[in-house]
Amino acid sequence: MESGCPAPGVLRVAILLSYCSILCNYKAIEMPSHQTYGGSWKFLTFIDLVIQAVFFGICVLTDLSSLLTRGSGNQEQERQLKKLISLRDWMLAVLAFPVGVFVVAVFWIIYAYDREMIYPKLLDNFIPGWLNHGMHTTVLPFILIEMRTSHHAYPSRSSGLAAICTFSVGYILWVCWIHHVTGMWVYPFLEHIGPGARIVFFGSTTILMNFLYLLGEVLNSYIWDTQRKPPSWQVT
């Protein structure tokens, strides 16, 4: 189901192109951290950018498939389109929304407290301000625009929470493995807290991811259930 937005497909194409531009510009930067173990893939920000680009790529592909399938009467094409829509909806629910909101919220909270703990001033010599906002700010309005312009069917709560927990734990294990191999933590602030505090932090991030999944589910239902309800003057 689409909202009254005249061209959600055009918005999706524009957002996809913006993510492609951000990724290309980011990968073109020659930073020392990109040359170390794990490369760009050790940073959740980069992983999130890939998730968002893939998600909006699937959205655009779904729009194109819908245009080609409309009125064709081909049941096989319609089945394939339904599978594509299900993949789009699953990816928004489990990855694009919770991971995207997590990256924006946690980055700016830590940045406001002490930027050296998450984004040292030295990085300003490599990453221009517009690119920083492309990685850590515009993700939020883009995903909210998508949620507002299209209804997404969420998976069952148990399977959705299991999926986001798997992603969260997987990334935490990846960060710990990088520390095991290199002796350095991916994020500077992890160097300044003890093992117990790290366990609490990692546990808290997993809980926050689960909360953001539930927030997305509630927000999606609120937006679209509200639109389905008739105006009060029509209720008899």
Tens digit of pLDDT at every position of the chain (236 positions): 555 444 678 899 999 999 999 999 998 888 887 888 999 999 999 999 999 999 999 999 999 988 887 766 677 778 888 999 999 999 999 999 999 999 999 999 999 998 888 888 888 888 999 999 999 999 999 999 999 998 899 999 999 999 999 999 999 999 999 999 999 999 888 988 899 999 999 999 999 999 999 999 999 999 887 555 544 444 43
Closest CA to 16 of 49, 55, 47, 56: 56
d(CA 85, CA 113): 40
Question: How high is the pLDDT of residue 158?
Answer: 95
Question: How high is the pLDDT of residue 226?
Answer: 56
CA-CA distances (angstroms) from residue 33 to 28, 42, 50, 170, 198?
13, 9, 18, 21, 22
Contact 100, 52 (CB under 8 A): yes
First to last CA, the chain: 26
Closest CA to 50 of 111, 101, 100: 100
d(CA 47, CA 171): 10
Residue 35 exposed, middle or buried by CB count within 10 Å (0-12, 13-18, 19+):
exposed
Question: How high is the pLDDT of residue 233?
Answer: 41
Tokens of 109: 């909270």
Question: How high is the pLDDT of residue 156?
Answer: 95
Mark residue 183 as left, alpha or beta (left: phi above 0; alpha: psi -120 to 50; beta: remaining). Answer: left
Question: How high is the pLDDT of residue 69?
Answer: 78
Tokens of 58: 């699937």
Question: How high is the pLDDT of residue 154?
Answer: 95
Closest CA to 98 of 217, 199, 236: 217
